[in-house]
Amino acid sequence: MPAPVITRFAPSPTGFLHIGGARTALFNWLYAKASGGKMLLRIEDTDRARSTDEAIAAIIDGLTWLGLDWDGEPVSQYARAERHREVVEELLSSGHAYRCYCTPEELAEMREKALAEKRPMRYDGTWRDRDASEAPAGVAPAIRFRSPEHGVTVIDDAVQGRVEFRNEELDDLIILRSDGNPTYNLSVVVDDHDMGVTRIIRGVDHLTNAARQSQIYAALGWAVPAMTHIPLIHGPDGAKLSKRHGALGVDAYREMGFVPEALRNYLLRLGWGHGDDEIISTEQAIAWFDLAGVGKGASRFDLDRLTNLNAHYLRQMDPGVLADRIIPWLRAEGCAIDAAGRARLVAGMAGLKPRATTLVDLAASAKFYVANRPLALNEKATKLLDPAARERLGGLLPVLDALEGWDEQALEDVVRHHADAEGLKLGQVAQPLRAALTGSSTSPGIFEVMAVLGQQEVIARLADVVH
């Protein structure tokens, strides 16, 4: 029986959950779900100067909002430092690591020489074969991994294919700093091994790390997890994704009014495909996801496409679910929403959804249904409600108050009949009616609005502007 699939998402808590990190988490989650396996969460918080509790909370909140759950408790890499140091001692004992007593000045000289020769900085192996008895007094050593000097290190990657690294280009990296803190590549290997990770899915910018980590695995006699390095996300101009392209934290897209279902769908299609399918449900994604569908080229982030996809999801969403999702925005705007207000939002969704692209749009257009009285009027509504218009509404008020059978058709019939009887065009009544009931000159159909608001609320709002 093959070993159960175990993937992991391992973000560094030095900021919010980046959109690229969210896609990596999604791919790990889908691969685990599609395989009947597990996805683990490891917080790579060894950089104590930059790791913050706020960032950890933001990452967990972002994953939760996206609907990406994980198995077990999140693992802190920093909390496992003693285990990492234990493995470093094993590598020292087996001769796969050594103590390096280079001073900061010597390392700076190596960097300057590499810069002058226009080549990458590589450690020159000064202490690779020297005896510790030659160590200078007062210098705490760093521990370096004894990288193979000849041959190649091969990564058989599910997306990138066979990738070879010449070993002479991979210098002896530090695995334990002189202050006793383990470094990234060593910690990752130990944690992935101890956590039983069978498949690593991460960005292609980690490909060189994969070579270094493979060497450490070999030195320890451990099996190397299967590797998958997915392309990076670029901006619309083809440059590396940055904040100017919209490379914000997931929380920012949430605040802009995107729904997690749409963002998941968009991130899935950003580098993975299933034929010509664009709208892919979570259930379909789990059933269809495989690594063969991951493209090799960089993907381009397009905010307009995400917005269009979000609009589609809003149109398909249950009215009650949508109402509950916009209520926090509306309450933040000062709207006091009771059960009757929520019912109006639900009933009004059919006319609101086609006009909205985000929850922010939707909340803004729905606000009039639950706005506190007397309604605030925008500039156009104020102009429509001149004294003559208010007088016309005053004539309509008793007609509506006496109406039985409060539905769209009955309302349209009675308003048209009243306009005809007064020698008015329908617009001369309907436009100020809309202004009085919504505070705006635009809204869904006025008779739909009246039906949703209900007779009591319509009469009260008209009374506010008539008297």
CB 205 within 8 Å of CB 212: no
Q: How far apart, in Å, do the first and last CA atoms of the chain sit? A: 81
- If 0-12 CB within 10 Å is exposed, 13-18 middle and 19+ buried, where does residue 441 land? middle
Scored b (16 or more CB within 10 A) or e, 310-341 reads: bbebbeebeeeebbebbbebbeeeebebeeeb
3-state SS, one letter per residue, for 188-215: HHHHHHHCCCCEEEEEHHHHHHHHHHHH
Q: What is the DSSP letter of 237?
A: T
Six token digits for residue 136: 């200078």
Q: Three-state SS for 155?
A: strand
Six token digits for residue 167: 């070993």
Q: For this structure, is 243 an active site residue?
A: yes
State the CB neighbour count (10 A cutoff) for residue 111: 12
Six token digits for residue 146: 């004894």
Residues 43, 47, 50: CA angle, nearest 5 degrees: 95
CA 380 to chain centre: 38
Write down the catalytic residue from 38, 118, 240, 243: 243
Contacts of 323-329 with CB under 8 Å at 24 or more apart are 323/349, 325/259, 325/359, 326/359, 326/362, 326/363, 326/366, 329/257, 329/359, 329/360, 329/363
DSSP 53-105: HHHHHHHHHHHHHHT---SSPPEESGGGHHHHHHHHHHHHHTTSEEEE---HH
- Measured CA to CA, the distance from residue 360 to residue 68 in angstroms comes to 23
Bridge partner list, 9? 41
- If 0-12 CB within 10 Å is exposed, 13-18 middle and 19+ buried, where does residue 3 land? exposed
- Measured CA to CA, the distance from residue 281 to residue 64 in angstroms comes to 18
- Measured CA to CA, the distance from residue 267 to residue 245 in angstroms comes to 15
Distances (CA, A) of 65 to 60, 251, 279, 308, 355: 9, 9, 20, 20, 25
Comparing CA positions, the residue from 456, 458, 431 lying closest to residue 445 is 431
- Measured CA to CA, the distance from residue 155 to residue 144 in angstroms comes to 22
CB 172 within 8 Å of CB 143: no
Q: Which of the residues are catalytic?
A: 243
